[in-house]
Amino acid sequence: MKDKLVLITGATSGIGESCARKFAAMGSRLILNGRNVEKLKQLQHELEAYDVPVWLLPFDVRDRDVVKQALDSLPEAWRHIDILINNAGLVLGMDKEHEGDLDEWDVVIDTNVKGLLSMTRLVVPGMVARGCGHIINIGSIAGDVAYAGGSVYCATKAAVKALSDGLRIDLVDTPLRVTNIKPGMVETNFSVVRFRGDQRKADAVYAGIQPLTGDDIADVVYYAASAPAHVQIAEVLVVPTCQATGTVCHRR
């Protein structure tokens, strides 16, 4: 992965941040996206230890016009993206489908689905033209089976699976690869966001278990990206040992 150019959305925390550190450690050049400029700059500063170039693109993936402007602003040397990691995503609340907040659902759908689509539509044509590239989408075990209080989020991650599969079909006559990584329980700020900043509720999600970490998922992402060119890791479901399905886990 040395000198490969990797674009990571949602790079300022969780899985995205772990992916940034992993690929930087392996010598990749990085384009990092996030909404929080200060966090992006802090991460860029920390990655200086790896002596790799890092370009920052602060924008919200929900804003298609801003996304396009940001990508169009890249200098020529930063336009040939080798790996796109569509990581930006979130969930808000645990409301029942008939009781949820429509505005919050807009945020979740626009980020998890439409944001991913915008990045794919704007980056992948260049990969096709160059005859090389890898799209890695961060899905979820939640995309396999719905669970109580999560129907909209589950629907967005089911969409990520369908979009990954469909893109793989569309690109089958090219050298490009498409991977869908589906984590189970990963302890990041994901649950803090879901519970609107309630740390106590977030901690309860992982009580009595040893969850995955962002670094665990970054290792899987890197494995998929570093496979030989003729090997396409189409889909990976990765869960902690104590978790069997999206709703079945063993707590000590």
Give the active site residues: 153
157 closest CA partner among 194, 192, 109: 109
For residue 213, give both structure tokens.
Answer: 């970490």
- Residue written as tokens 């278990």? 209
Question: Any alpha helices (H) in 184-241, and if so which ranges?
Answer: 190-194, 199-205, 214-226
Q: How many CA atoms are closer than 13 Å to the CA of 12, on its beta-carbon side? A: 15
210 closest CA partner among 171, 164, 152, 249: 249
